[in-house]
Structure 1
Amino acid sequence: MTARSEMDERMLDQAIAWQAALEQDDADWDGYLAWLEADPRHRDAFDSIALVDSAIADHRDEIKTLLAPDREMPINPLPNRWRPRLLWSGAIAASLAMLVAVPMLRSNADPVVYDNGGTANRSLALANGTSVILAPSSRIIVTGRDAAAIELARGEAYFDVRHDPGRTLAVSAGSYRISDIGTRFSVNLARGTFRVGVAEGVISVEAPGIARPVRIDAGHQLVGGSGALTLAPVDVAQIGSWRRGRLSYTDAPLALVAADISRYSGKAIIVDPSVEKKHFSGSLVIGDGSKLVDDLAGVMGIDTQSTGDAVRIGAVR
């Protein structure tokens, strides 16, 4: 075994460790980004592991069916599922190869849906070198063999796009369209409210009712909804802060905040007309999601009323 192959194997093991670590609530995102930027091959290694991870998660039932009864083994995604020698056992590797090869033969127009119905973030590696982190209760739809078109159908997603001047990539969210040439940004779509924040690079956004795209530089966010578009500076640390266990906002519509809380708390959050025009700036600790409504109410000085699995927030009576 050559020194290069030993290093490649070590990098894959590190990527496997990071893939598992990023699924934890207390994930070290700063450490992950430092590791990612330390060597260009680290991103390739992580993308490879994340791609296989997604394939296993999406096709675990089909893989189980293809496995011979006497060779079955647990394949449900778990935080500790990444054991390289187990992963590449002949039965799973062969079954996975059959299942992954099929999408490659489809028409470029065939969409692929990635859904995160769990309570933890989900990491994805797309064919064009784009990495995506899906928040809970979120969904994206990817079209094209090179994943040139991505739709955020609901929830929130963080995009890390490798710079490639020759590539065209568009991310749509509702009636908004984001054009990107290599950057990091987070997009949120909830209850007709749209927010995109740029952590690195530059993007442009096309929106209803505007003649030309809006340019958004790093450290800025664009918020849209029932009213006019609002472009404003934002702390880069706030962008995608949900990946690190916090919901952070700068002048965000209360409807958007309520939708985020609903995803993490499992409760329907109803915004009373008495407070629907309010905006929120601040940070909330996600935890298990159970304290988010009370924390928001305490900070904003608003009232909450619980009924079953729903909570109404409104003005104090």
Structure 2
Amino acid sequence: MTDRIMDEALAWHSAQQSDDCDWDAFALWLEADPRHRDCYDDVALIDRAIEDHRPVLQSVLTPPAPVDMPRVRHRRAIWAMGGLAAALALVFGLSTFAPGRDAAVDYRTGPNESREIALADGSRIHLAAASHLHVAGERQDRLTIEGSAYFDIRHDPARSMVIQAGDQQVSDIGTRFDILTMGRAARIAVAQGVVTVSSPSLASAITLGQGRQLIVDPADGDAEVQTVQANDVGAWREGRLAWDNMPLPLVAADISRYAGRPVAVSPDIAGRRFSGVLVVGDGTALVGDVARLMDLKVADRGSGLLLTGARP
């Protein structure tokens, strides 16, 4: 690890406290050299440990009462250096040997119902309607999502969080992102930060920065990276659904969670795309809105609704 890499890691860690951080440049910096991620993790780990154990550090580093002697300054400086080292050792000892917890738990929501979930490390997850989140692992670092959720994950280098979304595995370094998954279909959109997505169907892992989304088309399993407006990521939390060139089966999966009934797409229109913004409301009008905007028909099949291009 060089001084240059350390300086860059410190600069990036500081830059992320600002709303105008260049997340694309940060993603490129991480990918440029494996040492970059290691160094950034070291910086973040120290910062996290200091923040979590600030009272301990303050008590250890509180200097003694001033004494009017010329040589005390030098001794105090030596004491401070030793005290900081001891305090950091104590902090990392607390972090490393803190007792684990069995965090395995399931969270479920019904139609038009959402809930906010707080993890032990301060991360927060907003679970969308008709969705299921499974949280497991001693560090709450093994998650599985079915449906949709918005993740606000705190970066912790000591933890490797993996979120299973269908066939996709999403790992983060401290980010805000939204996942929608149903069967083979998936959308991973990043509002802030960087995530890595891997899957058996991908030749290699894909890194997504702010304003990027990965779409997995359920028709053929193909994945593509698109640009997305950061303020549209997780827009459902504000009562609106936003799509840009979205495969119609994914749109159907999205509105199913609010319509209260499964919405499917007939094979004759499965390859079509939809762009638009709809107000959720009570969810009952969403299927009709999509059908009207795309000149489609809606067939009631008893157990669910079918969007089709031909008159049923």
Please name the residue that 1:263 is paired with.
257
1:198 and 2:154 equivalent?
no
Deviation at 1:251, TM superposition (A): 1.6
1:233 and 2:233 equivalent?
no
Please name the residue that 1:130 is paired with.
123
Please name the residue that 1:168 is paired with.
160
1:146 and 2:139 equivalent?
yes
Q: Share of identical aligned residues, percent?
A: 38
Q: Which has the larger radius of gyration?
A: 2
Please name the residue that 1:37 is paired with.
none
1:207 and 2:199 equivalent?
yes
Q: 2:272 aligns with which of 275, 278, 294?
A: 278
Please name the residue that 1:183 is paired with.
175
CA contact (8 A) 1:301 1:316 kept: no
1:158 and 2:150 equivalent?
yes
State how far apart, in whole Å, the 1-side matches of 2:150 and 2:215 are. Answer: 16
SS state at 2:264 partner: strand
Please name the residue that 1:291 is paired with.
285
Deviating above 6 A after TM superposition, structure 1's stretches of 4 or more consecutive aligned residues are 104-107
State how far apart, in whole Å, the 2-side matches of 1:118 and 1:248 are. Answer: 18
* Residue ranges of structure 1 left out of the alignment (5+ in a row): 1-43, 45-103
TM-score w.r.t. structure 1 length? Answer: 0.63
Please name the residue that 1:117 is paired with.
110
Please name the residue that 2:58 is paired with.
none
State how far apart, in whole Å, the 1-side matches of 2:307 and 2:209 are. Answer: 34
State how far apart, in whole Å, the 2-side matches of 1:106 and 1:166 are. Answer: 13
SS state at 1:242 partner: helix
Q: 2:295 aligns with which of 289, 293, 301?
A: 301
Q: Aligned pair count?
A: 213
1:250 and 2:262 equivalent?
no
Deviations 1:145-182 (A, max 9, x none): 32111111x10010001123333211111221111010
1:216 and 2:208 equivalent?
yes
CA contact (8 A) 1:148 1:170 kept: yes
The one-letter code of the counterpart of 2:134 is: I
The one-letter code of the counterpart of 1:129 is: G
State how far apart, in whole Å, the 1-side matches of 2:111 and 2:302 are. Answer: 21
CA contact (8 A) 2:111 2:259 kept: no
CA contact (8 A) 2:184 2:221 kept: no
State how far apart, in whole Å, the 1-side matches of 2:201 and 2:307 are. Answer: 31
Deviation at 1:144, TM superposition (A): 1.4
Deviations 1:69-118 (A, max 9, x none): xxxxxxxxxxxxxxxxxxxxxxxxxxxxxxxxxxx99875x731111135
The one-letter code of the counterpart of 1:252 is: M
Please name the residue that 1:95 is paired with.
none
State how far apart, in whole Å, the 2-side matches of 1:177 and 1:271 are. Answer: 26
State how far apart, in whole Å, the 1-side matches of 2:141 and 2:290 are. Answer: 38
SS state at 2:269 partner: coil
State how far apart, in whole Å, the 2-side matches of 1:135 and 1:209 are. Answer: 27
State how far apart, in whole Å, the 2-side matches of 1:275 and 1:130 are. Answer: 39
CA contact (8 A) 1:191 1:259 kept: no
SS state at 2:243 partner: strand
TM-score w.r.t. structure 2 length? Answer: 0.64
Classify 1:305/1:210 alpha carbon distance in 2 versus 1 (closer, same or farther; 3 Å): closer
Deviations 1:176-223 (A, max 9, x none): 111101010000111320110000001110012323210101001001
State how far apart, in whole Å, the 2-side matches of 1:213 and 1:308 are. Answer: 41
CA contact (8 A) 2:167 2:184 kept: no
State how far apart, in whole Å, the 2-side matches of 1:237 and 1:197 are. Answer: 11
The one-letter code of the counterpart of 2:285 is: K
Please name the residue that 2:59 is paired with.
none
SS state at 2:267 partner: coil
